[in-house]
Amino acid sequence: MLTSPSVPIAAAATALLEERLRDSENRAQAIIDHMLGGLIMADESYVIQSVNAAAARMFGCEREELVGKDLWRILPEFGDDADELQLSFIEPEVLGSVSEWWGQRKDGSLFPFELSLCAFHYGGQRYVAGNLRDLSELHEVERVKLELISTVNHELRTPLTSIRGSLTLLASGVLGEIPPEAGEMVALAERNCVRLLALINDILDLERLDRRQMEMSRAPVPVATLMERSRDVVRGMAEAQDITIGLHPIAGALLGDFDRLVQVLVNLLSNAIKFSPAGSAIAVSALEVQGTIEVRVRDRGRGIAAAYRDLVFERFKQVEVSDAREKGGTGLGLAICQSIVKQLGGQIGVESEEGVGSVFWFRLPAATAGEEKA
Ligand SMILES: Nc1ncnc2c1ncn2[C@@H]1O[C@H](COP(=O)(O)OP(=O)(O)OP(=O)(O)O)[C@@H](O)[C@H]1O
Ligand SMILES: [Mg+2]
């Protein structure tokens, strides 16, 4: 009897397809199993359906011990409250976002982890899947860093402030005349003390900015007042180099924190002074662009090569190795400016031409008429 050759061919093709499908499934499963990040999937009642090896390791148990368990049982923040978990897991900060949680290991110990949670529908059912990253090490590093910062604060800043006070007193002659040579030594020691204190203050500022612990108000800051106050701070430094600072304010106000914005503008001005030739002029201007105000500091100094224009905003980055020694400073000023401006919802940048000069600018929301009266 003649049989159609298409039947065994179709069967072979189906078998091949099935094998390919199995292969592809196995490969996907192998990737999930070997991933360094944890993966947990739960159904709409938040009962765990599957976990990968990394997630099981994080919770200190076998995968089988987690499958079938209510999700809230391994998230101690919810206690026995499954409803609260259901509510939290539909919050926009949790679903579709990255959030931080505490997990409970099998031995009862707690560990912090980062969760990226998503929801999806499959076969008419709703599921949630979470990507987990253990944050224990990161938290430990953070703890050590905080300890160091607090040591720097108490064990270094406090005695240095008192040493500086004593040196200032000695130099003033209140405690009696000191020979000129000793006077020079005292003045040098005082200058070094001031530099060290400035460095410690900068490091502490950056640390507080990183942890968003620097208090920042959002109030109207009149452009003209900001410019005048900042120029007052650097007046002595500018006069010592015979540099003039011209102010060209506009009538509006920026929305931000007055003291912090003075800190930003003072650093931009002190940089402009440091890197400008004696006798030159610096101009501070402002312009309003689509609901924002841009403050610009233009100098006629040495300028910054294109390759360094982004780098100067990084910590401890100085264009010339000699900048720290010859001009003072440690390369933290612009990093602090950037953190402050960003935290206030603005932008900062530089335009520059080598040998011609630079314009450092920052842009912040303008205070509206109602806010300006407030
Ligand atoms: N106006 C400018 N002209 C030329 N180079 C500049 C200018 N402003 C900054 N730079 C370069 O960018 C570097 C970083 O500036 P930043 O304000 O961060 O640090 P610093 O002034 O060296 O020290 P600090 O501000 O911490 O006292 C400077 O050392 C300098 O090399
Ligand atoms: Mg500086």
User: For 243-294, how does the pLDDT look when each residue is reduced to its tens digit (9 = 90+)?
Assistant: 999 999 999 999 999 999 999 999 999 999 999 999 999 999 999 999 999 9
Q: State how far the Cα of 136 lies from the Cα of 156, in Å rounded to an integer.
A: 29
Given a cut of 60, whether residue 85 has pLDDT beyond it is yes
Given a cut of 70, whether residue 88 has pLDDT beyond it is yes
CA of 192 to the centre of ligand 2 (A): 17
pLDDT in tens, 127-165: 999 999 999 999 999 888 888 888 887 888 888 999 999
pTM for the whole structure: 0.69
CB of residue 331 inside a 6 A radius of ligand 1: yes
Position in ligand 1 atom list of the atom nearest CA 302:
4
CB of residue 333 inside a 6 A radius of ligand 1: yes
Looking at residue 96, what is its pLDDT?
84
- Percent of the chain beyond pLDDT 70? 95
Mutate to test the pocket of ligand 1, among 196, 202, 302, 334 (most ligand atoms within 8 A of CB): 334
CA of 334 to the centre of ligand 1 (A): 7
CA of 240 to the centre of ligand 1 (A): 19
- The strand ranges marked E within 264-356 are 281-289, 292-299, 347-353
Given a cut of 60, whether residue 126 has pLDDT beyond it is yes
What is the mean pLDDT of the segment spanning 83-106? Answer: 81
Neighbours of ion ligand 2 (CB under 5 A): 267, 271, 329, 333
Looking at residue 374, what is its pLDDT?
46
- Tell me whether strands 125-134 and 38-43 are parallel, antiparallel or unpaired: antiparallel
CB 270 within 8 A of CB 305: no
Looking at residue 266, what is its pLDDT?
96
Looking at residue 286, what is its pLDDT?
97
CB of residue 271 inside a 6 A radius of ligand 1: yes
CB 276 within 8 A of CB 240: no
CA of 203 to the centre of ligand 2 (A): 13
Ligand 1, atom 25: closest residue by C-alpha: 333
Residue 334: beta bridge partners? none
CB of residue 323 inside a 6 A radius of ligand 1: yes
Looking at residue 247, what is its pLDDT?
98
Given a cut of 50, whether residue 306 has pLDDT beyond it is yes
Q: In the numeric block, which tokens belong to residue 317?
A: 């980055």
Mutate to test the pocket of ligand 1, among 271, 316, 337, 361 (most ligand atoms within 8 A of CB): 271
Ligand nearest to the CA of 358: 1
Given a cut of 60, whether residue 1 has pLDDT beyond it is no
Q: Which residue has the higher pLDDT, 83 or 54?
A: 54
Note the helical H segments in the chain: 6-34, 53-58, 63-66, 82-88, 136-151, 158-172, 180-210, 223-240, 258-274, 323-327, 333-343, 369-373
Looking at residue 276, what is its pLDDT?
95
What is the mean pLDDT of the segment spanning 297-324? Answer: 91
CB of residue 304 inside a 6 A radius of ligand 1: yes
Given a cut of 90, whether residue 365 has pLDDT beyond it is yes
What is the mean pLDDT of the segment spanning 309-321? Answer: 90
Exposed, middle or buried by CB within 10 Å (0-12, 13-18, 19+), for 111? middle
CB of residue 134 inside a 6 A radius of ligand 1: no
Half-sphere exposure of 293 toward its Cβ, with a 13 Å CA cutoff?
23
For the chain, what is the mean pLDDT?
89
Q: Which residue has the higher pLDDT, 337 or 10?
A: 337
